[in-house]
Structure 1
Amino acid sequence: MSTGPVITLVRGDITDQQVDAIVNAANSSLLGGGGVDGAIHRRGGKAILDDCRRLRAAHYGKGLPTGQAVATTAGELHADHVIHTVGPVYSATEDRSELLASCYRESLRVAGELGARSVAFPAISTGIYGWPMDDGARIAVRTVRASAPASVTDVRFVLFDKAAYGEFEAALAARP
């Protein structure tokens, strides 16, 4: 019986991770932006942007829909792939938690299709998209525990600051 992946927390820069796949909290254009998205594009180099442009031209002319995921090369990152996913913008009046869970679920599905064993996630939607960190951490951990394919054995949540790390630590300690 599978017990799921080993989930670890890392405080630092996701672009420093040596994994099979790094998940990018992308914007729907797939053409780079701020935060994690901008850092991945800057550090990974032109090859990532070139792949994203090909995806836009071939399949995602209107952009990648929220909650979906797609892979590109990782360029100069220490990974084989970048899995781009578009998180929802937080709303206090509309429950979008299923869309956030879908980001993690779909990224793991793509990772499984790629044969990735190790995946590094940021805290999707908790930056400029305004998702409360405690709820974002709870959704992330719960979804990864429930959705990781057997081939994915190592999941890392790479968190930029102490506060985010603390919220993910609490979510990881809580049992479903």
Structure 2
Amino acid sequence: MELSAKVVQRSSTIAADGDAVPTPTDTGSPCEVRKSVSMDVGEAEATRTTLSAFKGFNRRSIRRRSSKRFERPEPTYGQDTESYESIRQRVFQERAVTNAIDALQERWRMLMFMYNDCVDLNETRKQRKLTKLCIIRQFELTIIVVLFLLMCLPIFILVAIILR
């Protein structure tokens, strides 16, 4: 209680629906919300609003001034080809720019050479893997045929002995 006695309270009430303003001594109905704000100087302010104010937002339309847009003409970029060509000629006459372009072209050639080399290497690896797989399958087929003949050989010998 000592703390509240030291704080000077200023109470103001605001009704959101514009009807009669309730007094600070009211206990408040269940549809009212009490909110207090502490000030830097030690004052406390209590504001009472109804819950109907929290259901929606008060929207205010903000108009943009479109007249300012229409006063300025739209810029037309890329239409001054003569000055662009003179700038391009001046830039290409500088030795640093041509050296940089040559260096970039050489790097591009090296990158394309490495790319083509990697593509060739990948194709060779795929071809080698495919040939290895074909050889393995041929070897497996040969082993299966030999095992089949070895299993059938005793049967052929028995049939040849019985038919004699």
**Both structures adopt the same fold (TM-score exceeding 0.5):** no
Larger strand percent? 1
Question: Normalised by the shorter chain, which TM-score bucket?
Answer: under 0.3
TM-score between the two structures when normalised by the length of structure 1? 0.15
- Considering Cα pairs closer than 8 Å and 6+ residues apart, tell me whether 1 or 2 has the greater RCO: 1
Larger radius of gyration: 2
